[in-house]
């Protein structure tokens, strides 16, 4: 009893002999030649954005330590305040970005 790979090999050999592979390759090549990118490739974040993100992240870490050690709150409460503040800032940035894009 031949194995599965032998049966697949025989079918592919017959498929190649019939010329179907060449016909499909030609169709795919013409289809890919017609597609042109709409936008140029995206660049990475600007240096200013990296600095702002680092500053906000540092501020949230500082807020955690201030709430934990300065205000003498529980560690979980201090972490919750810091994470909640970060999520709130992301929400504000999301709404501002959506508003900015709609006005353009």
* Same domain for 51 and 16: no
* Same domain for 67 and 30: no
* Same domain for 99 and 53: yes
**Do the domain assignments include residue 77?**
yes
User: Tokens 């599965």 belong to which residue?
Assistant: 4
DSSP 3-state of 82: helix
| pLDDT tens-digit map of 1-33 | 556 777 676 766 666 666 555 555 555 555 555
Are 67 and 78 within 8 A, CB to CB? yes
**Do the domain assignments include residue 39?**
no
Q: Which residue has the higher pLDDT, 28 or 74?
A: 74
What domain range is 26 assigned to?
4-34
**Do the domain assignments include residue 92?**
yes
| pLDDT tens-digit map of 53-65 | 999 999 999 999 9
* Same domain for 61 and 19: no
Going from the C-alpha of 33 to that of each of 8, 40, 65, 69, the distances in angstroms are 31, 17, 57, 62
Q: Which residue has the higher pLDDT, 57 or 42?
A: 57
Tally of domains in the chain: 2
Single pTM value for the model: 0.55
């Amino acid at each position: 009893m031949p194995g599965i790979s032998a049966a697949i090999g025989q079918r592919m050999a017959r498929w190649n002999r019939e010329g179907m592979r060449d016909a499909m390759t030609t169709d795919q090549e013409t289809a890919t030649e017609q597609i042109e990118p709409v936008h140029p490739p995206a660049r990475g974040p600007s240096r200013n954005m990296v600095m702002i993100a680092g500053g906000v992240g540092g501020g949230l870490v500082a807020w955690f330590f201030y709430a934990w050690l300065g205000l003498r709150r529980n560690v979980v409460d201090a972490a919750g305040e810091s994470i909640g503040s970060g999520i709130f800032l992301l929400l504000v940035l999301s709404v501002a970005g959506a508003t900015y894009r709609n006005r353009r």
